[in-house]
Structure 1
Amino acid sequence: MSEEEQNTNNEDVATEAADSNETPATGEGAGGDDQSPDLGLILDIPVTLSLELGSTKISIGELLRLNKGSIVELEKDASDPLDVKVNGTLIAYAEVVVVDDRYGIRLLDVVHKSEWIKNVS
């Protein structure tokens, strides 16, 4: 391939990358200092979002004594926000709301995405 053909090919790759907001070398989005990976391939993967009201540690003996009407005190205060987790990783804090006779949540604070990634690793 001649040098002129190679330069033309490199310009075409750069133009295609600019059109798709990706850099040719890394595949990362063009967002200034916020260079984040292109997540287009994983956006449709299902995950489990759960809400943790609280937790406590009990002995197996206490567990075996639980029956209908038993009360288990949790380690979290009633006024504390609830933990929102995706596949077990904390991503946000929320409060419970009722929407059309169903429970929902209102996000109060979202954990920074870099913390999500660090917790998954």
Structure 2
Amino acid sequence: MTMQTRGLDFLRDVDVRLSVELGRTQMKLKDVLALGPESLVVLDRMTDELLDVLVNGKPIAKGEVVSHNGRFGLRIVEMVGVEETPARAPSALAETETGEA
């Protein structure tokens, strides 16, 4: 079997690490060492912002937290780098086809 006939299908079974980033913060080491039960660490993300979905540390999507059978889950809302192409307006389409601008 050649690479061309199989394409990249052989990569489908490769394990990758999918993670969801809730937010980040920067702290001094002394403040990290002072953390304990009931400490509060404020993150840089607002509660209504979408979360970053990462595969092996690279962003691939954005999503929102959901509850599923008593567990946390993630609903993918958008894929990173995938833009939806808006439908072209009929007038713009007519101008392009006739060569007029």
TM over 0.5: yes
Q: In structure 2, what is the equivalent of residue 51 of structure 1?
A: 20
What secondary structure is seen at the aligned counterpart in 2 of 1:93?
Answer: strand
Counterpart-to-counterpart distance in 2, 1:112 and 1:62: 37
Larger Rg computed on CA atoms? 1
Q: How many residues matched?
A: 81
More strand by share: 2
Unaligned runs of 5+ in 2: 83-101
Question: Equivalences for 1:8-47 in 2 at 5 Å?
Answer: 27=4, 38-47=7-16
> Normalising by the residue count of structure 2, what TM-score does the alignment of the two structures yield?
0.73
How far apart are 1:111 and its partner, in Å? 1.2
Q: In structure 2, what is the equivalent of residue 77 of structure 1?
A: 46
Q: In structure 2, what is the equivalent of residue 60 of structure 1?
A: 29
What secondary structure is seen at the aligned counterpart in 1 of 2:53?
Answer: strand
Identity %: 36
Counterpart-to-counterpart distance in 2, 1:112 and 1:56: 25
The verdict on how the C-alpha distance between 1:67 and 1:43 changes in structure 2, with shifts beyond 3 A counting, is: same
CA RMSD, 1 decimal? 2.0
Which structure exhibits the higher relative contact order, with contacts defined as CA atoms closer than 8 Å and separated by 6 or more residues?
A: 2
Q: What letter matches 1:103 in structure 2?
A: F
Unaligned runs of 5+ in 1: 1-23, 30-37, 114-121
